[in-house]
Structure 1
Amino acid sequence: MHFVDQTCRSPRRSLATDGQSVICASVNDPHHLLPHRESLESSRNPLLICLVGLALLTLAACSGGDSKGRGGPREANVGYVVVQPQTVPIPVTLGGRVVAYQTSEVRPQVNGLIKRIYFDEGGYVRAGQPLFQIDPSLYRASVAQAQANLASARASSAAAKAKADRYKPLAAMGAVAQQDYTDAQAAANEAAAAVQQARAALSTAQINLRFTTVPAPISGRIGRSLFTVGALVSNSQTDPLAVIQRTDPTYVDMQQSASDLTKLRQRLASGGVAPGSTTVHLNLDDGTQYPQAGTVQFSEVTVNQDSGTVTLRAKFPNPRNILLPGMFVTAVFDQATDKNAFLVPQQAVKRDFNGAAYVYLVGPGNKVVQRTVVTDRTSGSNWVVTSGLKAGDKVITQALDTLKAGASVNPAPASQPQRIGAPRSGAAGSKKQGG
């Protein structure tokens, strides 16, 4: 080994004693020390290598003893549920629009000027309630004329009937010609027919006079008046005077794809599913649920050529008039029920890289079995599995992250609380001795 003696005065002088060389160097000249520092570092490398090797051997010995003490990997504790087939409803969500239960357009049946309006716009009206008053002057005159014509016809009829009655016995005795009696009898019949015509004309005039008061055809809420006082209306106009809508109860027309409806009918015919409930629930535009439930009434027998959909109509009570005609809503109802479906907790269903769903089962010998399943939809916190499972399968729902197919597990029902026991005395003693 080489040592540097900084007390030496001569930088070139060296002294060798017992195989060790002392190299003198001046403090002011540190460059003479560089080659000797390199030799010093090289001499330390074997010692470092020996120390590292000794540390690795010590760690290997400790780790070997620890693994030997543990006795190999432990079995994972997993929780499972036993699945059984059950009847699961098949919900359908459809868009719909509110339609009034009854809609009536108030129209005039006679011509004239509007004299008065008897209702408040937007209010509730009852059937038969007067809404508009059309000028009745001309129609009153028509009634009076019809009454006069009827009186004239009745007088003529009475005279003709009396003449025919006088000619009848005279014709039987031959005092008058038979033709004269026949003519008198025909005149009496004609006069009686004229009375009927005058009576019908009077009835028509009275009806027209009654039509000058326009009533509400149905009960419901009336909209704004489309004509004001003084407007001329006629029985041939295209625009109504007002519109009345009955909204309690009310209808909701839902649109369903014709292809989906065809598939459902085929499944119903094959017995794969059973008919569901006709009860319908509504979700409003703001996301809230309508408090009243409705009932499906019928479905159309034709398909809309433009949209390829079939209209289903449901009836809802609407006492507070929350549902307004034309409002868009979302209808949810159980159109059918699946009789052989399995409900599996959502956390138990996994997906592979291809998107296929699978679950882990507790197989024979408490070995993990991976099973591919078909999931159609969710029901609450569960997946609805329609294929891949059978009655009595134990589906693992807990501790899924570390499981692999074929691994040994320690299964327990998912509803059973897991207990952590105290460490075994043997394990504690060995750990104490090792410490």
Structure 2
Amino acid sequence: MKIKGRVLLVAAVVLSIAGCGQDEDKTAAQSPDATKVTVTSLEAGEVSVTRSWPGRVVALRTAQIRPQVGGIVTARLFAQGSEVKAGQPLFQIDPAPFRAEVAMAEATLARAEASHRQLQQKANRLSQIQHSGAVSRQDFDDALANSAQAAASVAEAKASLQRKKLDLAYSTVKAPVSGRIDQEFVTEGALVSAADTQAMAIVQQTEKVYVDARLPASELRQIIDSPTADEPSPNALRVSLLDEAGKPYDVQAKLLFSGVSVNNETGDVVLRIVADNPARVLLPGMYIRVSITRHIAKNGLVIPGQAIQRLDDGNYVWTVDGDGAARKIGVELAGESGQGEIVKSGLQAGTRLVVEGQDKLQEGMRVTAVPLKPRA
């Protein structure tokens, strides 16, 4: 009985040792869980850079209506807030004094012309008999001088008459440019003069308007001088004007010029846009936003900024190859767009890019790729 018990005990120990060995082998056969990373598949598409800045609307032309002669305003000849044409009468200054001055100037001219005819005829007669000795050389010279002075008086009287007629014409104040006229600043019965500092009204040409935006010189360079992957085209630069809610105005706008100098105090430059304004929705003095989109490439790649690792010797990203291994790839960037960083070289469409979890990766490490969930 003792021998049989010992045999059973040895068998139990052997089975126990064998079981432990099997457990160890099973544990050794199991590989640790692969590192989980979040990836996104790169897709090629149109790449552009968009920037926006505050801007202010400026009328294409602004004319302050001022009198060129003095007098009493007798009539306003326009409707306030209406469209006026160049040369259209706007105000009437009492013309009676100017008509009287024109009549006086006409009389002065007539007297000067009569005197000139008389002295001219006398000089002609003396010229015919001066060789006979009946008239002295001095008398003949005096007659010629008097005739010349009379001719000068005629020219002076004509100039004076022309000036008086011009003053009479200026008594009707006309619009120098076409546009929309604002409210009147003087009324009938007001006394005005050419030395007044207050305008009678203001006409602003607004079928086209300027929009001036001030922006840092560095931002302007990013828009105007951005490198392009495709050949430049006439539509490479798109300009739009936005209201306070961010909605674009239904107007055609284009970049007219950028400032040629930088403000010493602010470091800003002026960007001037010209825009069609047929519906007059853009009013002078209005603040809006100027948005400029620069085309970069038709089939470019944009990657999230969080996927980029930056070192002194360049930029790199982590990708996952077809075998599920992590790969470190250097990339060259061409700038930033509204969607992320623009890739100039180093990546291709279809690459699985790691956007989360790259801090734990090593070259060739097996990973579990989890697709990036789209934002709701």
Q: TM-score, normalised by structure 1?
A: 0.67
Find the partner of 1:112 among 54, 71, 82: 71
Relative to structure 1, the CA distance from residue 186 to residue 340 in structure 2 (aligned partners, 3 Å threshold; closer, same or farther) is farther
The equivalent of 2:85 in structure 1 is: 126
Give the deviation of 1:229 after TM superposition. Answer: 0.9
Kept after mapping to 2: 8 A contact 1:357/1:375: no
Find the partner of 2:280 among 292, 297, 321: 321
The equivalent of 1:200 in structure 2 is: 159
C-alpha separation between the residues in 2 aligned to 1:285 and 1:83?
34
Give the deviation of 1:165 after TM superposition. Answer: 0.4
C-alpha separation between the residues in 2 aligned to 1:399 and 1:335?
27
Kept after mapping to 1: 8 A contact 2:38/2:357: no
The equivalent of 2:112 in structure 1 is: 153
Give the deviation of 1:386 after TM superposition. Answer: 4.5
Relative to structure 1, the CA distance from residue 224 to residue 305 in structure 2 (aligned partners, 3 Å threshold; closer, same or farther) is farther
Find the partner of 1:396 among 348, 352, 359: 352
Find the partner of 2:341 among 376, 384, 392: 384
- Where structure 1 has 5 or more consecutive residues not aligned to the other structure, the ranges are 1-56, 415-435
Kept after mapping to 1: 8 A contact 2:320/2:369: yes
C-alpha separation between the residues in 1 aligned to 2:265 and 2:41?
49
C-alpha separation between the residues in 1 aligned to 2:112 and 2:102?
15
3-state DSSP of counterpart to 2:251? coil
3-state DSSP of counterpart to 1:332? strand
The more displaced of 221-230 and 366-375 is 366-375
Kept after mapping to 1: 8 A contact 2:76/2:188: yes
Answering whether residue 214 of structure 2 is matched by residue 258 of structure 1, we say no
Instruction: State the structure with bigger RCO (CA 8 A, min sep 6), 1 or 2.
Output: 2
The equivalent of 1:362 in structure 2 is: 320
C-alpha separation between the residues in 2 aligned to 1:324 and 1:315?
13
Give the deviation of 1:91 after TM superposition. Answer: 2.8
3-state DSSP of counterpart to 1:247? strand
The equivalent of 2:5 in structure 1 is: none
The equivalent of 2:121 in structure 1 is: 162
Letter of the 1:384 counterpart: E
CA-to-aligned-CA distance 1:327-362 (integer Å, 9 cap, x gap): 111111145848997323x4x95478x9x9974313
The more displaced of 323-332 and 174-183 is 174-183
Q: TM-score, normalised by structure 2?
A: 0.76
Kept after mapping to 2: 8 A contact 1:81/1:396: yes
Give the deviation of 1:266 after TM superposition. Answer: 8.1
Larger Rg: 1
Give the deviation of 1:375 after TM superposition. Answer: 8.7
Answering whether residue 257 of structure 2 is matched by residue 298 of structure 1, we say yes
Relative to structure 1, the CA distance from residue 296 to residue 320 in structure 2 (aligned partners, 3 Å threshold; closer, same or farther) is same
3-state DSSP of counterpart to 1:343? strand
Kept after mapping to 2: 8 A contact 1:108/1:235: yes
Find the partner of 1:247 among 199, 206, 216: 206
The percentage of aligned residue pairs carrying the same residue is: 32
Letter of the 1:258 counterpart: A
C-alpha separation between the residues in 1 aligned to 2:246 and 2:37?
43
Q: What is the total number of aligned residue pairs between the two structures? A: 346
Kept after mapping to 1: 8 A contact 2:306/2:355: no
Relative to structure 1, the CA distance from residue 334 to residue 369 in structure 2 (aligned partners, 3 Å threshold; closer, same or farther) is same
RMSD: 4.3
Equivalent residues in 2 for 1:8-407, closer than 5 Å = 81=41, 88-261=47-220, 277-334=236-293, 337=296, 342-344=301-303, 346=304, 349-350=306-307, 359-363=317-321, 366-370=324-328, 376-379=335-338, 382-386=339-343, 390-392=346-348, 395-396=351-352, 404-405=361-362, 406-407=364-365
